[in-house]
Amino acid sequence: MSLTVRDLDRSIAFYRDGLGFRVLTETAVEAALSADGVRTLVELHERADAVLRPRRCTGLFHFAILVPTRAALGRSLRHLTDEGWPLTGVADHLVSEALYLSDPDGLGIEIYGDRPRETWTRVGGQVMMATDPLDLESVANEPGAERSWTGLDAATVIGHVHLHVASLVDAERLYCGVVGFEPTMRTYPGALFVAAGGYHHHLGVNTWMGEGAPAPPGHAVGLRWFSVYARELPAAEVVDDATRTVVSLGPG
DSSP 90-145: EEE-SSEEEEEEE-TT--EEEEEEEPPGGG--EETTEE----B---HHHHHTSTTT
In order of 41, 106, 201, 228, 240, the CA distances from 246 in angstroms are 16, 21, 19, 11, 6
User: Would you place residue 252 in the very low, low, confident or very high pLDDT band (cuts 50, 70, 90)?
Assistant: low
Q: What's residue 155's pLDDT?
A: 98
What pTM, to 2 d.p., does this model score?
0.96
What is the CATH classification number for the domain harbouring 70? 3.10.180.10
In terms of Cα–Cα distance, which of 93, 98, 97, 76 is closest to 85?
A: 76
State how far the Cα of 118 lies from the Cα of 95, in Å rounded to an integer: 10
Reported residue count of the chain is: 252
232 residue type, one letter: E
Where residue 78 falls among pLDDT bands split at 50, 70, 90? very high
Structural domains counted in the chain: 1
Mean pLDDT of 44-68: 97
Return the amino acid letter for 160.
H
Q: Which residue range forms the structural domain that includes residue 224?
A: 2-249
List pLDDT tens digits, range 102-144. Answer: 999 999 999 999 999 999 999 998 999 999 999 999 999 999 9
pLDDT band at residue 244, thresholds of 50, 70 and 90?
A: confident
Model pLDDT, residue 124:
92
Over residues 190-215, the pLDDT tens digits come to 999 999 999 999 999 999 999 999 99
